[in-house]
Structure 1
């Protein structure tokens, strides 16, 4: 497994719940976006994005997300969701995800999300603070675990 997620600095373990499945007995397509969200919040927690947003009023909003399904996941299973930031621009960043199934021993799903920085005080787009750019670089290089 290590080699399949080695390029992802944050790994989130998520057990598949019985209620995640749909009538066709596999995880419903919309549930994967919750898995991505959980992994994204784990990533954000490591660099304290939400705490910094509370103080500054500037934080990320998701403007676009997508998912690629490679194999159906069923209950019971435990998933490892790798997350990383693959691109940082002035006001936005791209996150990538890979979902590894322990029972199938393979990556079953991949996805991306574009986060745009938003100033919740002025209701307008904002630049990514330099401190946040530095923290993203540090987590991606392995300086922050």
Structure 2
């Protein structure tokens, strides 16, 4: 199962809840954005980004997000969400996600997010701190250069 997420250094396990299904008997499309948020926060935890806010006042804000639905997910199931940073810029970075269903044994959803750094003390955009860049590069180096995407 997790072989489908080769190339994603952070994998978050999420159980599907009965209440996440809609009238069409599959997980509602808006719920996937919560799954991606959960994976994003897990990645942030891995790079100590949330702790950094306490010291510097600089933290992430979501600038843009998207989701591509490939297969419907139903209860009961367990999902594995792979997350990685695919692009670093001076004041932002791009994250990519793949969601794999344990029950289906396949990628069900792909997503992307642009995360902008923001100084909450001055209410202005901020640059990525060197310590964050170093932490992201360290996590990303855990995976091979070969990125596997299931189409």
TM class by shorter chain equals: over 0.9
**Residue by residue, what CA displacement relative to the aligned partner does 1:11-70 show, whole Å, maximum 9, x if unpaired?**
000000001011111000000000000001111111110001111000010000000000
User: Which residue matches 1:63?
Assistant: 63
- 2:148 maps to what in 1? none
**Root-mean-square deviation over aligned CA pairs:** 0.9
- Deviation, 1:4, is 1.0
Instruction: Give the 3-state SS of the residue equivalent to 1:30 in structure 2.
Output: helix
Distance 2:3 2:17 in 1: 26
In structure 2, the residue corresponding to 1:84 is in which secondary structure? strand
Name 1:111's counterpart in structure 2: 111
* Count of paired positions: 143
> 1:89 matched to which residue of 2?
89
> 1 CA distance for matches of 2:17 and 2:112?
23
Written as runs of structure 1 = structure 2, the 5 A alignment for 1:1-145 is 1-142=1-142
**Aligned 8 A contact 2:68 2:111 in 1:** yes
CA–CA distance in 1 between the matches of 2:69 and 2:102? 16
Alpha-carbon distance in 2 for matches of 1:57, 1:45: 16
TM-score by length of structure 2 reads 0.93
Give the SS at the match of 1:73: coil
Give distance in 1, aligned partners of 2:115 and 2:44: 12
Q: Distance in 2 between matches of 1:34 and 1:54?
A: 24
Structure 1 unmatched runs, 5+? none
* Aligned-pair CA distance for 1:3: 2.6
